[in-house]
């Protein structure tokens, strides 16, 4: 009994002590407010999981150079756009440009700055198949429409002559969250399949005819890797990092193309409009991988909002400027395609339009 009483008294003393410490730090029961200079040396971004492997490396290296801390939340392009819309992050990242509905939800104009280009690969889990599978646009669409259900279907076998395909069920994996990767993938399917266009369509979120949902590129990659017979669309870096097999896709020129830095670069070698909003899917380039896409950093054109300082706006723009230029050296080793000269020029022009209290941030 004494022991219980002693413990209760000790717990009460700790609680009182903790309460006094909080009050003593701030003069009240609320947490202390961070000073603006500390806030100016830290950025918060959110969005694309497609970008996450590259961003992790870029932000780590930039921190070594400049001491700027970047907290990037890999929550999917849709989540990043929502966070930017509510102004709870400094920048968003998306593999899909803002659509009309998203634009109308914004309180002020947002600009798109291309930061990388990559491949959305079709990964599969067939342990006994040692050959690299080849897929056509029609077959891929039929798999995702639920019309091709077995790996040894005659349509898949006809493309992969000499490959012994199992009678395993095809288990489709797709994103469950709003996703720029999904937008790239479904935009491609809409371009190459009339059935897909009429029954499903394109977007960051669609009503999937079949399949299991996974959150982020990480979730889809994990689902495919753990499921014999699984197939899913993921960013190239995730497939490589997880030692996953991925298919060669037939492009518009009729060639079966392996997703790679070179084949994404070929797809991205196009004219870029001034607003940087452009799709790379179903490229005309003979050596281009057909399910490629740009990814963008999204920021408000006018940076004086909430309690943001001019110093913070300048630091953020210098970070993005570095990503577009020096930061591109980290793209290749992580299986992203460095930006073309045309894309860099457009990115620089976009950055120069950013203002703070109506005045250009970058001179």
Residue 250 shares a structural domain with residue 309: no
Full domain range(s) for residue 236: 119-292
Residue 146 inside a domain? The answer is yes
What angle, 0 to 180 degrees and rounded to 10, lies between the N-to-C axes of helices 180-192 and 137-144?
A: 120
Confidence of residue 40 (pLDDT cuts 50, 70, 90): confident
Residues 148-200 have pLDDT tens digits of 999 999 999 999 999 999 999 999 999 999 899 999 999 999 999 999 999 99
Residue 231 shares a structural domain with residue 347: no
Residues 302-355 have pLDDT tens digits of 999 999 999 999 999 999 999 999 999 999 999 999 999 999 999 999 999 999
Residue 195 shares a structural domain with residue 283: yes
113's tokens:
């700055």
Residue 340 shares a structural domain with residue 301: yes
The CATH number given to whatever domain includes residue 60 is 3.40.190.10
What angle, 0 to 180 degrees and rounded to 10, lies between the N-to-C axes of helices 310-324 and 52-66?
A: 120
Q: Is the torsion defined by CA of 146, 149, 151, 154 positive or negative?
A: negative
174: three-class secondary structure by DSSP: strand
Strand partners, 248: 134
């Amino acid at each position: 009994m004494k022991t219980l009483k002693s413990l209760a008294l000790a717990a009460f003393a700790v609680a009182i002590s903790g309460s006094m410490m909080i009050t003593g730090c701030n003069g009240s029961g609320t947490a202390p407010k961070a000073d603006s200079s500390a806030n100016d040396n830290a950025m918060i971004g959110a969005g694309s999981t497609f970008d996450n492997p590259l961003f992790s490396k870029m932000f780590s290296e930039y921190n070594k150079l400049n001491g700027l801390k970047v907290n990037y939340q890999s929550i999917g392009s849709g989540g990043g756009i929502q966070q930017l819309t509510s102004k709870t992050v400094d920048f968003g990242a998306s593999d899909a440009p803002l659509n009309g509905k998203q634009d109308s939800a914004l309180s002020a104009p947002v600009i798109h700055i291309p930061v990388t280009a990559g491949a959305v690969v079709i990964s599969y889990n067939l342990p006994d198949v040692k050959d690299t599978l080849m897929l056509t646009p029609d077959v891929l669409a039929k798999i995702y429409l639920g019309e091709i259900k077995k790996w040894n279907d005659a349509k898949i076998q006809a493309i992969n002559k000499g490959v012994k395909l199992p009678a395993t069920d095809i288990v489709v994996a797709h994103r469950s969250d709003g996703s720029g990767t999904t937008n790239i993938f479904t935009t491609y399917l809409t371009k190459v399949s009339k059935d897909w266009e009429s029954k499903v369509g394109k977007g960051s979120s669609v009503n999937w005819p079949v399949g299991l949902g996974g959150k982020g590129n990480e979730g889809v990659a994990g689902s495919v890797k753990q499921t014999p017979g699984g197939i899913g669309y993921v960013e190239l870096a995730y497939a490589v990092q997880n030692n996953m097999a991925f298919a060669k896709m037939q492009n518009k020129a009729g060639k079966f193309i392996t997703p790679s830095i070179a084949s994404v670069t070929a797809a991205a070698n196009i004219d870029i409009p001034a607003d940087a909003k452009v799709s790379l899917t179903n490229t005309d380039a003979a050596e281009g991988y057909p399910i490629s896409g740009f990814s963008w950093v999204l920021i408000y054109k006018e940076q004086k909002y909430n309690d943001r300082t001019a110093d913070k706006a300048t630091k953020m723009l210098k970070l993005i400027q570095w990503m577009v230029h020096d930061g591109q050296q980290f793209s290749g080793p992580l299986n992203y395609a460095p930006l073309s000269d045309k894309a860099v020029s457009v990115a620089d022009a976009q950055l120069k339009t950013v203002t703070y209290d109506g005045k250009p941030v970058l001179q």
